[in-house]
Amino acid sequence: MLDKIDPKAVKASVKTQALAYMPGFGNDFETESLPGALPQGQNSPQQCNYGLYAEQLSGSPFTAPRGTNERSWLYRIRPSVRHTGRFTKIDYPFWKTAPHIGEHSLALGQLRWSPLPAPKEELNFLQGIRTMTTAGDALTQAGMAAHVYTFNADMVDDYFFNADGEMLVVPETGSIRVFTELGKMDLEPSEICIVPRGTMFKVTRLGEEDVWRGYICENYGAKFTMPDRGPIGANCLANPRDFKTPVATYEDKETPCRVHVKWCGSFHVTEIGHSPLDVVAWHGNYAPYKYDLRTFSPVGAILFDHPDPSIFTVLTAPSGEEGTANVDFVIFPPRWLVAEHTFRPPWYHRNIMSEFMGLIYGRYDAKEEGFVPGGMSLHNMMLPHGPDFTGFEKASNGELKPVKLENTMAFMFETRFPQQITRFAAELETLQDNYIDCWTGLERRFDGTPGIK
């Protein structure tokens, strides 16, 4: 079935991992890049070693219950009040924030796009972000946005923090270095990272590519966490030790730099004379992390029927209503299909949640053609969808021997809020006008008589 080897996937596995990380999910980490830089036994000594400044970064209210209380203590060359001066407004016209109803004339429908074309001009990561959909309301810290990025230049003296939410970055083409206040993470396609709300960072390119491209989920709500496994037990799906948090690394640089900020949907910039990535040591549980999707251990149907895709949830961001995610990050990794007397691909369905999908490599079993790496699809609240005609025919008539879906990595940002498409998405030249024709062949088969048709 999906057995074509994708050269990108092969290339991705060649790169060696040089940076150091600390394993675990949501741990209380501690790390210092100079010996003795981290105070022991207290957070806020009268004077810190090396002349460092102590500073707390809070990701939850001070009084949040222990299970969701997140903060880190940073020991840095300058306090971050010196990393922001007077702000001036700046425009990032393609980055939209909910609530945002795009001004466009595209009618409601199931939508699919081919990948973004490579940028014609020079763009860094920040300049290369394009919002496809927004959902909820960033001002009430609910909802999310789905973005795509393409870029071809490094952020050198430009830094960024997002006060509106955490950012889940999903590279599709090109490896990247995400240098945050708390340390550096290298990502290749198949790896993802989370940059927590408010954390300063910059993104640079790794390796040789024509373009660096991927997807971003900007989560305005409560932080992503690991889903409960319920009766699955204590293992499988994403395992905590496969989440990797960077060790402290600082950039001691005295050059003109710019810090860009996203705050309640508006953008601002401030000029400073040094790098804001100057944290020499830190400890705490509010920190960036990365995760290799290839370490996800899928659990699925071993006798019959197709389970709900929630079994493939890597991370879930709760909304406050039990079982109803602000946004789930779900993947469709390589796996064996063994179910007997079963239609094995996703069933036809309608869903109160809204599904934004992307493809990192390979092919997706419900849509073997048309949904390509770097592409996107949107199946919004209650809009019917499912396998295309070819997929239906194949799955209805194929021999049900064990089949391995190889070389495939699709994902979904699934939110409880309807997703509003932006004007950019509506007018994107790669929008596939004929997408819904993929279901045209699904004709009436019923003729009133019993039996398989």
Ligand X SMILES: O=C(O)Cc1cc(O)ccc1O
- Please choose, from the candidates 444, 439, 434, 433, the residue with its C-alpha nearest in 3D space to the C-alpha of residue 388: 439
Partner that binds at residue 370, options ligand X, Fe ion, none, CB closer than 5 to 8 Å by kind: none
- Minimum Å gap between C-beta 331 and ligand X is 11
Question: Which residues, numbered 39-78, are part of the site for Fe ion (CB under 5 A)?
Answer: none
- CA of 89: how far to CAs of 139, 266, 274, 316, in Å? 19, 8, 21, 33
Site track for ligand X across 340-359, x = CB under 6 A: ------x--x-x---x----
Please classify residue 71 by burial: count the beta carbons closer than 10 Å to its beta carbon, then call 0-12 exposed, 13-18 middle and 19+ buried: middle
Q: Which is nearer to Fe ion, 270 or 354 (CB)?
A: 354
Do 233 and 340 form a contact (C-beta atoms < 8 A)?
no
**Number of neighbours of residue 270 by Cβ within 10 angstroms:** 18
Count of residues that interact with ligand X, criterion CB under 6 A: 9
Q: Is the peptide bond before 99 cis (omega within 30 degrees of 0)?
A: yes
Type of residue numbered 253: K
Count of residues that interact with Fe ion, criterion CB under 5 A: 1
Q: Which is nearer to ligand X, 22 or 400 (CB)?
A: 400
> 76, 260, 290, 385: which one contacts ligand X (CB under 6 A)?
385
Does position 309 bind ligand X by CB under 6 A? yes
Does position 355 bind Fe ion by CB under 5 A? yes
Q: Nearest 10 degrees: CA dihedral of 144, 146, 151, 153?
A: 10
- Please choose, from the candidates 77, 277, 291, the residue with its C-alpha nearest in 3D space to the C-alpha of residue 161: 277
Question: Which residues, numbered 392-431, are part of the site for ligand X (CB under 6 A)?
Answer: 412
Q: Which is nearer to ligand X, 405 or 421 (CB)?
A: 405
Residues 6+ positions from 188 with CB-CB distance below 8 Å: 12, 15, 171, 175, 206
| Part in contact with Fe ion (CB under 5 A); list of ranges 200-208, 316-324, 333-341, 352-360 | 352-360
**Residues forming the annotated binding site?**
385
Catalytic residue among 100, 306, 341, 379: 306
Asked about 268 being catalytic, the answer comes back as no
**Residues forming the annotated binding site for homogentisate?**
385
- CA of 444: how far to CAs of 95, 116, 349, 435, in Å? 43, 36, 17, 20
> 194, 216, 327, 366: which one contacts ligand X (CB under 6 A)?
366
Site track for ligand X across 222-251, x = CB under 6 A: ------------------------------
Q: In the complex, which residues of this chain contact ligand X (CB under 6 A)?
A: 309, 346, 349, 351, 355, 366, 379, 385, 412
Catalytic positions:
306
Q: In the complex, which residues of this chain contact Fe ion (CB under 5 A)?
A: 355
